[in-house]
Amino acid sequence: MTSAKFPEGAIRCLDKGFVRLVDSMGGDDSIVQAARVSYGKGTRKVSQDRGLIRYLMRHRHTTPFEMVEFKFHAKMPIFVARQWVRHRTANINEYSLRYSEARDEFYIPDPEHVQFQSDLNKQGRSGKVPKELTEKVRNYFTEISQRTFEMYQELNEAGLARELIRAILPVNLYTEWYWKNDLHNLLHFIGLRSDPHAQYEIRVYSDAMATFIQDRAPFAWEAYQDYVVNGLRFSHVEQSLLERYLPARVINDLLEDLAYGITATLHNNKPREDSELYNLYQKQGGTDAQSDFHLKWQSGEIETGNVREMREFRDKLASMKP
């Protein structure tokens, strides 16, 4: 693999790194296409495609997302690559320091990223470091990088084996690789590595890769954000607590709102006669009197959504009622 300083279309990461999309296969369409094979249906409208992708994500039907692939070229410090390589489902080809000479490219953190060890998070950093100490840290980074590189060059010129002498170089040395993964596992990577708990230096790469996904598979990206990144899951213990302490009237109010929401959405999708609406609302579990129903219906305050998703929520809520 040849070295690239800063290739076209790449997103800059850290002081000397980058990520660029080399190639990709498919997008939202490929997810839908694959899923429809398993459900035996042909291609349908865009809004239905979005609904299907959201359904798949909600129900963790993950294999259709594996039909989309991304191949990246990235340059990052070795200590970032050490974290990155833990994601085992990718295919990787890395710049070889057995074969090629090391390059004088080391990561030196920007002053704002030089921080103290966090007291709260044992794997994190926090607080503002005084200017003098910050400069000392950065000087140490520079000094050790320069000194070890001089030693490396000296040994390299003396004909020592590169596979051995590379071991004296520090982990802030930049490496480079091609990294290919499917969308399911890439989203998993981004969920973990763009999280605020992940180390800043890998987060910038993860955030950069995310922009390419948003572009190629926007519905899948949106669904991942809604159901995985920003969604909440409750353990059995937590559910029991909610069941015990959540007042029944709160659940009932939510169920009522859902009955209205489902009715309005069904009506939007396929308009009904006015005379049929109250009956339809009752079928969705609505319990308001007919006069109250008409008042609310005319208020214009009913939120519509995805019928299937609202019904799933209704069933979950109903199961929490004492």
> What residues are labeled active site?
193
Q: Min. distance of Cβ 188 from ligand FAD in angstroms?
A: 5
For residues 125 and 308, which CB has a smaller minimum distance to ligand FAD in the complex? 125
Our finding on whether 87 is near ligand FAD (CB under 6 A) is yes
Segment near ligand FAD (CB under 6 A); pick from 35-43, 62-70, 164-172, 184-192: 184-192
Q: Which of 88, 98, 122, 249 binds ligand FAD (CB under 6 A)?
A: 88
For residues 137 and 198, which CB has a smaller minimum distance to ligand FAD in the complex? 198
For residues 34 and 192, which CB has a smaller minimum distance to ligand FAD in the complex? 192
Our finding on whether 198 is near ligand FAD (CB under 6 A) is yes
Our finding on whether 197 is near ligand FAD (CB under 6 A) is yes
Rg (CA), the chain: 27
Our finding on whether 86 is near ligand FAD (CB under 6 A) is yes
Q: What's at 194, amino acid-wise?
A: S
Q: Min. distance of Cβ 194 from ligand FAD in angstroms?
A: 10
SS3 23: strand
Q: Which residues contact 9 (CB under 8 A, 6 or more apart)?
A: 20, 21
For residues 19 and 202, which CB has a smaller minimum distance to ligand FAD in the complex? 202
For residues 82 and 136, which CB has a smaller minimum distance to ligand FAD in the complex? 82
Q: Min. distance of Cβ 96 from ligand FAD in angstroms?
A: 23
E strand segments, the chain: 11-13, 17-25, 69-77, 91-94, 116-117, 125-126, 174-182
Q: Give the contact letters, 105-124, x = binds to ligand FAD (CB under 6 A), - = no.
A: ------------------x-
Structure tokens at 293: 């129903």
Q: Min. distance of Cβ 124 from ligand FAD in angstroms?
A: 9
Q: Which residues contact 85 (CB under 8 A, 6 or more apart)?
A: 92
Our finding on whether 270 is near ligand FAD (CB under 6 A) is no
Concatenate the DSSP letters of all residues of 278-301 into one string.
HHHHHHTT--S-HHHHHHHHHHT-
- 98 C-beta neighbours (distance < 10 Å), count: 9
Our finding on whether 192 is near ligand FAD (CB under 6 A) is yes
For residues 172 and 181, which CB has a smaller minimum distance to ligand FAD in the complex? 181
Q: Which residues contact 116 (CB under 8 A, 6 or more apart)?
A: 125, 126, 127, 129
Q: Which residues contact 212 (CB under 8 A, 6 or more apart)?
A: 21, 24, 70, 72
Structure tokens at 57: 């994500």
First to last CA, the chain: 63
Which residue, among 147, 171, 179, has the nearest Cα to 21 in the 3D structure? 179
For residues 82 and 128, which CB has a smaller minimum distance to ligand FAD in the complex? 82
Q: Give the contact letters, 118-157, x = binds to ligand FAD (CB under 6 A), - = no.
A: -----x----------------------------------
Concatenate the DSSP letters of all residues of 71-109 into one string.
EEEEEEEHHHHHHHTT-TTSEEEE--TTTSPP-S-B---
Q: Min. distance of Cβ 152 from ligand FAD in angstroms?
A: 28
Q: Min. distance of Cβ 246 from ligand FAD in angstroms?
A: 32
Q: Which of 33, 148, 153, 185 binds ligand FAD (CB under 6 A)?
A: 185
SS3 235: coil
**Can you give the binding site for ligand FAD, defined by CB under 6 A?**
86-89, 123, 185, 188, 192, 197-198
